[in-house]
Structures are given as C-alpha cells and as structure tokens.
Amino acid sequence: MKKLWIFLVVASLLISCNTGNNERVLSEANGRINNLLIVMKNSEWQGEIGDELRKIIAEPVLGLPQPEAQFEVSQVPLENFGSMFKSSRSILQIGIADKNSFKTATDVYASPQKIIAITGKNKEELIHQIQENSATIISEFKNSDLRAVRRKILKEYWKPSTIETFNKQGYSLKIPRNYSKVEDTGDFVWYRYHLFGGNSMELISYTVPITSEDDENGNNIVVIRDAIGEKYIPGEIEGSYMITEEAYTPHIFEVTLDGKKAFETRGKWEIKGVFMAGPFLSYTVVDKANNRLVIVEGFTYAPSINKRDYMFELEAILKTLKIN
C-alpha cells in the first residue's frame, strides 16, 4: 500500500504540472541557486540509495581552487513535504513504487521551479534508474538554475549596441548593468563587478582569426588565452600579467553555444610574478562563417571564500552570447 501511495503522489505531482498551468498564479520559488531539496524516506537516504545519489550531486565543480560540491543538499521524508518545502526551487523526489519511472516537471508549486521524480520497483531498480539518468539529473537542475539566475540579474543590462567591441566584431553578450566598464577597445572588452573587500567578478571577450586546424580543434586555447592576458590584463607590478596557472591543467570540453561548435574551458588563472589567482570559465566558439574564434570568459578574484556561485553567475552571462 505504501508503494502505491508514493506512486500516486508522484503521478499527481506530474499531472498538476500539465493541467491548467497557464491559469494558475504561482508564488515565487524560494531557495538559493545550486540548492537541492531531496524528498525520500530517511532510511533510504541514509542507505545505499542515498549513497548513490551523493555520488552524483556531491561531485565537485571543476576548476575551483577548493573543492565545492555542485549542490547544497537538504533532505526531508515525504510525510514532512509540506507547503514550505513545496516552494523550493529544485526538488528531487525518490521512492520505491509499483513501476520504474523518471519524470521531470516545471513550475508545479512555485516559479521558477524544477522537479524530478524517480521511482523504482525495488532498491536495485531504483538505484539503476538513478545511475542511468545521472547526467540528466544534473543538467535539468543546472539549466533551471541558469535560467533563474539570468531572470534575476539580467533585468537590466548594457545594450550591446553601446559596446564598441560588440558593434565592430558583430556579436553580443548581455552584461548586467551592475558591471562597470574597464576597457572597450573595439577588439577587446572587459567589464567588472565589484564584490565586498576588494573581491570582483570579471568578464572579458575578444576574437582571434582561425589560422590552423589546432585552432578549430581547441588545441591552442591556453596559448591564445595567455597571449591576450599579456597584452590586455596587467598585474600590479611592472612586467606582470594574467596567465593560465601553469601547475593546473584546465578541463576542456566540446560543447555547443549559439548553435555553433565551441569549447568550454574550466581552469585557474594567476598573475605571473604576483601571488594572485582564482578560477576562470571560458567559451571558445568556432565561427567558421567569419573564419575566427569568438571567446567569452569570466573569472573571479575572491580569495579565502567559496566561489562556486560566482562562477555560476558568470556562466549564466557567458551563455547569452549571440553571433550575428
């Protein structure tokens, strides 16, 4: 009977997402980005099923100086899943029921909200469902949070037409109005958001011509990045400038951005000759039509504090790239 009850709760949750959605007025979802509420039995959370979930959701974010998990996690049993919890931004509901199922739903109890419901006929099949859908679990919650961040920070942004580099080079990025211009040469643009205590979030962008297959295949990303750092991003002392940290090999993945082949690079930057460093995230887009690479990058200077959420905000901005 308990299994049937769990399945009916999940089914009604998913049905509610698809009926009368346009007519309902939803409250605003609560909870910070990269926070995940897991609804499942305490005994299952503390056992093998919970262990399998933790392997996925506690995976550290790549490219950060200190390990930080992808999500901050809270767990409640189904009987305590009341109205306060139902307004959470990201909800993962897990349980044993009469069938194997993996379902996603959007804006069920609040907005913006993403809910994933997973059921299995027994412990082994439930674990298999979690393993089989691990990449989807991460991408669904991450993409939902990225949309929520953009909705919040891009209510006001600098019109791309007011930025010389974007006009001259024929592409654009939505940069929030609370970022201030550091440099805009027509070939290189740099904006900064001042955090507390001298910390900052930085956005830079530029283009370079494609000169070889290595450029197109992402083999020269670090070389190009270091050349730009030497030319445009000086350090505090004479002769110092930004480079890719030599002791840490960046993680590079082929992705798609603005419908084009691109490379996502996550790594660490440092100032050559100065004790100053932090994480960076860049996207190198292969713009074959114009025989060039379009590069957008965000990096953070915030020593001694967690930087996951800062880098996540920068990712949300970088993914607004549009090439004319």
198-202 contacts: CB < 8 A, separation 24 or more? 199/300, 199/301, 199/302, 199/303, 199/305, 200/300, 200/301, 200/302, 201/298, 201/299, 201/300, 201/310, 201/313, 201/314, 202/298, 202/299, 202/300, 202/301
User: 58 and 8 in one domain?
Assistant: yes
- If asked whether residues 57 and 133 sit together in one domain, one would say yes
Confidence at residue 197, expressed as pLDDT on a 0 to 100 scale:
87
- Final residue of a domain: which of 114, 136, 153? 153
Q: How confident is the model at residue 5 (pLDDT cuts 50, 70, 90)?
A: very low
- Choose the final residue of a domain: 83, 118, 153: 153
Q: What is the pLDDT of residue 134?
A: 96
**Are 147 and 249 found together in one domain?**
no
Residues 95-117: pLDDT tens digits?
999 999 999 999 999 999 999 99
Q: Are residues 189 and 107 part of one domain?
A: no
Question: What CATH number has the domain bearing residue 166?
Answer: 3.40.1000.10
Query: Which pLDDT band holds residue 312 (cuts at 50, 70, 90)?
Result: very high
Measuring CA to CA, which residue among 62, 68, 81 is closest to residue 12?
Answer: 81
Q: Which of 136, 153, 170 is the last residue of a domain?
A: 153
Residues 142 and 196 reside in one and the same domain: no
Among 153, 171, 151, 152, which residue's Cα sits nearest to residue 161? Answer: 171
For 202-253, the pLDDT digits (tens) are: 999 999 999 999 999 999 999 999 999 999 999 888 889 999 998 889 999 9
Do residues 146 and 163 share a domain? no
Peptide bond connecting 176 to the previous residue in cis, omega within 30 degrees of 0: no
Res. 20: pLDDT tops 50: no
Using one digit for the tens of pLDDT, what is the confidence trace for 34-76?
999 999 999 999 999 999 999 999 999 999 999 999 999 999 9
Residue 193: CB atoms within 10 A of its CB come to 21
Q: Cα separation of 19 and 309, whole Å?
A: 34
Both 270 and 186 in one domain: the answer is yes
Domain interval for residue 272: 157-323
Q: CA separation (Å) from 177 to 50, 51, 157, 186?
A: 42, 43, 5, 20
The model's confidence at residue 17, banded by pLDDT at 50, 70 and 90, is very low
169 shares its domain with 254:
yes
One domain, residues 165 and 117: no
For the chain, what is the radius of gyration of the CA atoms?
Answer: 22
Residue-level pLDDT at 9:
52
Question: Are 155 and 149 within 8 A, CB to CB?
Answer: no
CA distance 18 to 157: 33
The pTM is what? 0.90
Instruction: Yes or no: say if 291 and 13 are a contact pair by the CB < 8 Å rule.
Output: no
Domains contained in the chain, number: 2
Residues 128 and 203 reside in one and the same domain: no
Question: Is pLDDT of 77 > 50?
Answer: yes
Q: Determine the Cα–Cα distance for residues 87 and 107; give it in Å rounded to an integer.
A: 9
